[in-house]
């Protein structure tokens, strides 16, 4: 069965199709991430025990406050904060999601903000009940877009991330990490569709996005830029290493 798709309309009027990840891809990503965070938490537990007690065993030692603050709390922090911290830092992804070829987007195809990702992870407590993520898996199985309760609450989707034919709104490169991810992606799309757009539409979109991306430009300066100058400004933002 083909994966369900969500069709969105981009700023240039060209439809964008996102392929929704199924339960299999979702579970595969989770299992990978679960092993990674378990190994990290366990490794810290061993390291903290060695630092605190000079060995890897508590035999003959009396665990005190130092064990709580040096060993137990950091290990629990690594385990439970793995998903929210990495998903925010990696713009809706984790090592497991990357290996499984999936990532999180909003229902408009955008990169989710920190608030949405925190809400999504907060609902893991509910999705994981009563055991083995039974509620979350059941919800993903019986919803049209394979979403769990956390996705419903946060307004997010898990989509298949095809790096060879990426048609989503979340394309980021190291060349424009300093830009707002949403603005960077729209600039990227405008650059791809530049030659296909009519001149008035092209100028309007370029001026609107440059105003959001470059706060040093005044409205009068933007109005004075012609098509070639706007194109140069656009490329300078997207590929600073090539234009510096």
Instruction: Quote the CA–CA distance of 156 and 108 in Å, as a whole number.
Output: 9
Instruction: Quote the CA–CA distance of 111 and 169 in Å, as a whole number.
Output: 7
pLDDT digits (tens, 9 = 90+) for 76-86: 999 999 999 99
Lowest mean pLDDT among 29-43, 112-126, 133-147, 193-207: 193-207
Buried b or exposed e, range 200-212, using 16+ CB within 10 angstroms: eebbebbbebbee
pLDDT digits (tens, 9 = 90+) for 60-111: 566 678 788 888 999 999 999 999 999 999 999 999 999 999 999 998 778 8
pLDDT digits (tens, 9 = 90+) for 185-235: 778 888 888 988 888 888 888 888 888 888 788 888 889 999 999 999 888
pLDDT range class, residue 242, cuts 50, 70, 90: low
Residue 11 predicted with pLDDT over 60: no
| Mean pLDDT for the stretch of residues 8-19 | 63
Domain ranges of the chain: 5-160, 174-236
Q: For residue 56, what are the contacts with CB-CB under 8 A and spacing of at least 6?
A: 46, 49, 50
pLDDT digits (tens, 9 = 90+) for 134-176: 999 999 999 989 999 999 999 999 999 865 434 344 443 334 4
**SS3 at position 107:** coil
CB 214 within 8 A of CB 234: no
Q: C-alpha angle 105/110/115, rounded to 5°? A: 70
pLDDT digits (tens, 9 = 90+) for 44-56: 988 888 887 777 6
24, containing H or E segment? helix 23-53
């Amino acid at each position: 069965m083909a994966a369900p798709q969500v069709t969105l309309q981009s700023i240039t009027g060209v439809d964008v199709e996102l392929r929704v990840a199924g339960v299999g891809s979702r579970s595969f990503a989770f299992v990978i991430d679960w092993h990674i965070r378990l190994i990290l938490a366990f490794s810290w537990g061993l390291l903290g025990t060695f630092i605190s007690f000079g060995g890897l065993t508590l035999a003959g030692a009396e665990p005190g406050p130092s064990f709580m603050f040096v060993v137990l709390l950091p290990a629990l922090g690594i385990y439970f904060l793995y998903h929210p911290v990495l998903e925010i830092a990696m713009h809706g992804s984790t090592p497991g999601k990357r290996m499984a070829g999936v990532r999180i987007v909003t229902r408009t195809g955008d990169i989710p903000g920190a608030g949405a990702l925190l809400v999504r992870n907060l609902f893991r407590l509910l999705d994981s009940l009563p055991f083995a993520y039974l509620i979350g898996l059941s919800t993903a199985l019986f919803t049209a877009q394979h979403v769990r309760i956390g996705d419903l609450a946060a307004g997010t989707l898990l989509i298949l991330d095809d790096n060879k034919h990426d048609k989503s709104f979340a394309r980021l490169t190291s060349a424009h990490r300093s830009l707002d991810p949403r603005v960077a992606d729209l600039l990227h799309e405008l650059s791809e569709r530049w030659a296909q757009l009519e001149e008035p539409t092209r100028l309007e979109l370029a001026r609107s996005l440059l105003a959001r991306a470059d706060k040093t430009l005044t409205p009068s300066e933007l109005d004075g830029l012609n098509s070639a100058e706007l194109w140069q400004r656009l490329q300078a933002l997207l590929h600073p290493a090539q234009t510096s």
